[in-house]
């Protein structure tokens, strides 16, 4: 957003670039969180299988506590999107290019 707003003073271009960054960042965070939680879930399932082989009764309690990768990914994407909307709104409502750039720097930093 900063690069486009410094080169082009058009508000629509800044909003399009900001929205593209929002979507790309939200997707990136969601994919990273999904992979992380899937890995954590696989480790926990392997540990539960080991405990089950040893005869431990804890595995029934742990089945309900397994993390949901989709839920974690959606939460991460939503959190990123909410954070990315703030500088996007600042860029959308401020018409003067230099003021808009200064506000986006302050809000994003």
pLDDT digits (tens, 9 = 90+) for 36-82: 999 999 999 999 899 888 886 655 565 668 889 999 999 999 999 99
| Separation of alpha carbons 6 and 4, rounded Å | 5
Give the per-residue pLDDT at 5. Answer: 63
Give the per-residue pLDDT at 9. Answer: 72
Q: What pTM did the predictor assign?
A: 0.76
Residue 15 banded pLDDT, cuts 50, 70, 90: confident
| Separation of alpha carbons 97 and 11, rounded Å | 9
Residue 96 banded pLDDT, cuts 50, 70, 90: confident
pLDDT of 32 > 80? The answer is yes
Angle at 28 between CA 74 and CA 9, to 5 degrees: 110
DSSP string, the chain: -HHHHHH---HHHHHHHHHHHHHHHHHHHHHHHHHHHHHHHHHHHHHHHHHHHHT-STHHHHGGG---HHHHHHHHHHHHHHHHHHHHHHHHH--SHHHHHHHHHHHH-
| Separation of alpha carbons 18 and 88, rounded Å | 6
């Amino acid at each position: 957003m900063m690069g486009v707003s410094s080169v082009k003073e058009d508000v629509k271009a800044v909003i399009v670039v900001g929205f593209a960054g929002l979507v790309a960042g939200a997707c990136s965070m969601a994919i990273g969180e999904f992979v992380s939680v899937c890995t954590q879930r696989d480790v926990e399932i392997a540990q539960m299988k080991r405990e089950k082989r040893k005869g431990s009764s804890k595995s029934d309690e742990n089945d309900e506590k397994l993390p949901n990768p989709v839920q974690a990914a959606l939460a991460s994407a939503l959190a990123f999107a909410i954070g990315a909307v703030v500088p996007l709104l600042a860029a959308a409502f401020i018409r003067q290019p230099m003021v808009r750039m200064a506000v986006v720097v302050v809000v994003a930093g």
